[in-house]
Amino acid sequence: MKPVRLPAAATLALPRWALYALGLLYILPGLIGRDPWKDDAGSFGIMWTMAHGGIQDWLLPNIAGLPAPEEGPLAFWLGALCIKLFGWLVGDVLGARVSTAGVFVLGTVSLWHAAFHLGRRAEAQPLRLAFGGQPEPDDYGRTLADTAVLIYIGCLGLLLHSHETLAVTLQGSLVAWFLFRSVRYIEDATPRNAVLVGVALGLQTLTRGFASPLVLLAALFLCMRVLKLPSAHTLRHFGQAAGTAVLISLVWIVPAALAKPYGLSPVGDWLSWNANQLSLPDWTALKAFVRVGVWYCWPAWPFAAWAAWAWRRQHGLMHIILPTWFVGALVLLLLCDPVSENGDLLKLLPPMALMAAFGLPTMKRGAINAIDWFSVMVLTLLGALVWLFWIAKLTGVPAQLAKNALKLVPGFHPEFGIVAFLVAAAATLGWIFLVNWRLSRQPSVLWRAVVLSSGGLILLWVLLMTLFLPDLNYARSYASVAQQLAARLPADAGCIDANVGPAQRASLAYFGHLPFARVGQDRCEFLLVQDSSGRRAGQTGPVERALAEGRVMQHGDGVWGGRDVMQDFRPRDWTLLWEGRRPSDRDERFRLYQRTH
């Protein structure tokens, strides 16, 4: 027997304006007014270099002369194109983030349509009630689609990365689009739908390599076998999908291999990076996945696990089998990645949120009410704490809270921002209205639990990205370092060689307009050294030791080395012009040298 029994009143659709408003409140804070931080400054640097460079920069992704061809160019192409189109109007940073907003829309819309198509299928419908009153298939499908989107934007991992100009962000949305195209192909196995599946796979290949597309295509094939769908044309269609993916990948691979931008072929490095993403899974990878995945995929994974349990007695259910196979295949791929990053888990969220949407209707009313009250109490308390810390940092009362709020940003002087205050106040009033709606009307709609949890999470994000955005920019941006460097650099300075990391190089090039060495350029008159040795107070770093001993600075002495520029560092040949750091970082330091010989 099906585990779902719902009246039509429980499947009233969430008003479109409310869903759109939640989406805008979710994605816009964190895009507007935020400097490139260390997490996404490197990716922005590639986009910025492309937008202000030539065709060679589009074929060989680089950060102001530092080659970065590993992931693939598609996400950076989109950001650079948006800088070209909108940078003159809103600035290069916000221009690049127009692509981030578009990527978010692609992911949520794709997930909504995938859930809608699966939710209106006959096997997913609730049990028919004795006297009628059960929801119509389309109404039930829309309710599940709204629920899937609310669970998706309520995931902590998506909140962390959906506002960043990263390749993994685009990859997550493309997985959602592939999920939708897979649903449409299974419903209507035509060559057109097979080609569109291939388009989704090809775009993923240009974004983050070929491992994920291969695994997803295999998972889709196995899913069709489990569902026992007609296979007369399956192999031919899958061949068409694979061929389409390869052709899309060649759009970059062939020109880059033939043109050899800056005398280099990025394809070899890209293939090598792809090969290094795979290894045998081990216990360390499993522990890391569990440790991060528990909070990263919250609250999607508990609902998804409940869905698998609740529907366990039913067989051949597409809305359970399809996301289960996709999640399982992607988890296996993550366990085989020896250098997995948190952002890699983004591709798990669309199929997990889709499956979670089908778990919510099977939950008891008491469990849903418990989720309601937990969301109301915990998120309201956290929101009140954010306001309290903001008041404390401005007024100094309470003193201990003011001290805690400012100790991470030494030297920062908070100021009252009227626009930030009004936006934060409006978001808080919206939350109060939402809580009052829940308490006064006690609605029976299915999505009431997830709209509260997602709305509360959005409230906290809005408060942080308005009331504390100046603090965060001060602590995490390299704008102040770039301005200090630019002020000490001679006006007629030539190129600067550097051993700084990708994020630092991008930030310094953008904020300070520093003339870093181009790809393949040697013998610069200036050298910028980043010392990130992690030493404690009183200890000497590798640069000090090299200067004291008068020896050559070797790569591997504790300095980040994307390029081995320190191999020729002889202290007697250089004069120190400037030394500085971010006020909030006591370990990382920068030194600017000028060649004397």
What's the pLDDT tens digit per position in 395-443?
A: 988 888 888 888 888 888 889 999 999 999 999 999 999 888 888 777 7
pLDDT digits over 444-497, tens only? 787 887 888 899 999 999 999 999 999 999 989 999 899 999 888 888 778 888
Segments of the chain scoring below 70 in pLDDT: 1-2, 130-133, 532-571, 597
Give the pLDDT confidence score for residue 596 in this predicted structure: 82
| Residues in the chain, overall count | 597
Q: CA 175 to CA 319: how far, in whole Å?
A: 16
**What pLDDT is recorded for position 542?**
45
Residue 411's nearest CA partner among 497, 474, 319 is 474
Cα 169–Cα 172–Cα 178 angle in degrees, nearest 5:
140
Read off the DSSP letter of residue 362: G
Q: What's the pLDDT score for residue 534? A: 47
pLDDT of residue 316: 82
Q: Name the token pair of 359.
A: 């778990």
What pLDDT, on the 0 to 100 scale, is given for residue 545? 47
pTM (2 d.p.) = 0.91
Tell me the C-alpha distance between 420 and 89, whole Å: 21
The CA distance from 176 to 158, in Å, is 13
